[in-house]
Chains A and B, each alone.
Chain A
Amino acid sequence: MQIYLPIAEVSVNAFLLLGLGGIVGLLSGMFGVGGGFLITPLLFFIGVPPAVAVATGANQIVASSFSALMAHLKRKTVDFKMGLVLMAGGLVGSALGVYVFTLLKQLGQVDLLVNLFYVVFLGIVGGLMMIESLNALRKSKRQGPTKSKKRGRGIAQTLPLKMRFRASGLYISAIPPFLVGLSVGILSAIMGVGGGFIMVPAMIYILGMPTKVVIGTSLFQIIFVTAFTTLLHATTNYTVDIVLALLLLVGGVIGAQFGTQIGAKLKAEQLRIALAALVLLVCGKLGLDLLLTPSDLYSIGTS
């Protein structure tokens, strides 16, 4: 069944979009990530203009993150104070990101920027996650599950503007979380992703937050930042396609629920290795596109 998307101005198969949303939702339920890093490149692939894919991707993340946050609210694993600091940074970053995006759209470099961001960040995150989880798997095989908690000492403690974050059990400067939020906000605007795959490691390793509150807090801030990004894209670039978003998120929220059930049956290390492999795969594909000679050197500008 073909559906004409009013903003993207292309006709695509509705079941393809539902399926796409479903698969990404499944993965995001399994791994606890928004799945934006998958959905945006997949939308490019089926012929949705990059600007529309990025803006609509952000809208889709609001839906899947909201669905997941509900579960975390029930378990009380959300640090609201930390979330608000991250959010303040995120909103500033998001505004900056949309501004940069609009500027680059005029210069014709949007595709390059988006692809470069993807390759660099997916590469770093996927690589680190792979190494870390392989080590953890080796360790757990040797001596059974270990519980080692490392608290970040250094920068976060020495900077001014100290705040107490009760739910995380931290007394640190508000500047590092603000900066983490800021950079994730920029990424969210440029890449159409929630930034969970960067936010989660940053919160654990840079801010030293306990793992149990990390995901809930990151979801809390992602919802606000991606919602803000969606609004900015809708008002400045007119690139949010509501029909596309609807199809993706119907598939997505259903897939996410099944994903959570599958995820509960797998071991944490196995999950992380699978996610790392997936991230590296997407990264590799996008990287090759930048390095290999394109089939047509010419392209028509997106405007």
Chain B
Amino acid sequence: MRLLASLIAFCLLALPLQAEELVLGLSQEEVRITTRFDGSDILIYGAIKRDLSAVDPEEEPLHVIITVAGPSGPTTVWRKERVAGIWMNTDSVEIDRAPSFYAVATTGPLPDILSETEDLRHKISIPRAIRSVGAPQGIEDAGSFTDALIRIRERNGSYLINENSAELRESTLFDTRITLPANLTEGEYTTRIFVTREGAVLTHEEAPILVRKVGLERWLFTLSRQQPLLYGLLSLALAVAAGWGASTFFQLIRR
């Protein structure tokens, strides 16, 4: 940590002076999904560069909000209803954009350190990060579908809100740790850092994290999409070989 701090301090010296400037670092810029992948911790750290002579000692303290978002895409949420005694999916709402993963870490309670208008502009809190434009005809409570999406994804660890989990030291150095779950999907993830005071965003910065399958995982996945027939035949060959191998092997043992 100390090495890190001095490294950051060094970087800061090289930067031109402004009111508030952000430097951001990640413990890893690429998450590799291998066969043994079981989730991953990412350390996000950085520093706020400030012109100390301009700091008013009476001012409100700074706060930091860090978000990590997975690739976004349209998502369908279904609602079950009892039809002839059986529960089946009846109504659905297509949510235009919902990240596959979304984590928020803050240095304080989110409503206290971020105003509604700023949240709306930067789409920071979980409900704001999801975009649902209009409900289809015949569904009046589209909001409950969005709530359900958040609830389900929070339950399986895809959406996280960790208030007070980030630390800001001396209004300069900050760091937090975000746990990426084991059921991660591939794509480009975006880390965003916001520095706020009295609910207003002073400055923000973002950095990408590339999450991708590597090695065997990559090879199999690519094969299954680009050469599906070959992949299917490979699966079958494996099945036949295993079936044949086992019966031959056990016959040898019994003899």
Which residues on A sit within 8 Å (CB–CB) of B117? none
Asked if B151 and A70 make an inter-chain contact with CB atoms under 8 angstroms apart, the answer reads no
Select which of A227, A242, A257 is within 8 A of B220 by beta carbon.
A242
Which residues on B sit within 8 Å (CB–CB) of A234? 224, 228-229, 231-232, 235
User: In the docked arrangement, what's the CA distance between A28 and B41, Å?
Assistant: 42
Which residues on A sit within 8 Å (CB–CB) of B244? 66-67, 70
User: In the docked arrangement, what's the CA distance between A299 and B77, Å?
Assistant: 6
Q: Are A67 and B247 also in contact (CB < 8 A) when A59-B235, A299-B78 are?
A: yes
Which residues on A sit within 8 Å (CB–CB) of B231? 234, 240, 242
Contact with B along A282-303 (1 / 0, CB 8 A): 0000000011111011111101
User: In the docked arrangement, what's the CA distance between A300 and B75, Å?
Assistant: 7
User: In the docked arrangement, what's the CA distance between A33 and B75, Å?
Assistant: 38
Which residues on A sit within 8 Å (CB–CB) of B76? 108, 300-301, 303
Q: Are A7 and B232 also in contact (CB < 8 A) when A65-B243, A298-B77 are?
A: no
Which residues on A sit within 8 Å (CB–CB) of B148? 296-298
Which residues on A sit within 8 Å (CB–CB) of B45? none
User: B246 contacts the other chain (Cβ, under 8 Å)?
Assistant: yes
The count of residues in chain B whose C-beta lies closer than 8 Å to any C-beta of chain A is 57
User: In the docked arrangement, what's the CA distance between A253 and B182, Å?
Assistant: 29
Which residues on A sit within 8 Å (CB–CB) of B250? 257
Select which of A66, A242, A253, A299 is within 8 A of B235 by beta carbon.
A242
Select which of B228, B233, B235 is within 8 A of A245 by beta carbon.
B235
* Count class of interface residues, chain A: 35 or more
User: A273 contacts the other chain (Cβ, under 8 Å)?
Assistant: no
Contact with B along A59-91 (1 / 0, CB 8 A): 110111111101100000000000000000000
User: A156 contacts the other chain (Cβ, under 8 Å)?
Assistant: no
Interface residues of B in 31-58 (CB under 8 A from A): 33-39
B151, B185, B242, B250, most chain A CB atoms within 10 A: B242
Chief secondary structure at chain A's binding surface: helix
Which residue in chain B gives the minimum CB-CB distance to A233?
Answer: B232
User: A158 contacts the other chain (Cβ, under 8 Å)?
Assistant: no
Which residues on B sit within 8 Å (CB–CB) of A159? none
User: B207 contacts the other chain (Cβ, under 8 Å)?
Assistant: no
Select which of A71, A242, A256, A291 is within 8 A of B85 by beta carbon.
A291
Which positions in B face A, CB cutoff 8 Å?
33-39, 75-81, 85-89, 92, 144-145, 148-149, 151-153, 182-185, 213, 216-217, 220-221, 224-225, 228-229, 231-236, 238-240, 242-248, 250
A234-B232, A238-B224, A292-B87 known, 8 other contacts, Cβ within 8 Å: A59-B236, A68-B247, A111-B89, A112-B86, A242-B231, A242-B234, A298-B151, A299-B80
A sample of 7 inter-chain contacts (CB < 8 A) reads A2-B182, A4-B36, A4-B217, A6-B213, A6-B217, A68-B247, A245-B239
Q: Which 8 pairs between the two chains have the least Cβ-Cβ distance?
A: A234-B232, A66-B243, A301-B76, A298-B148, A253-B246, A11-B182, A67-B243, A63-B239
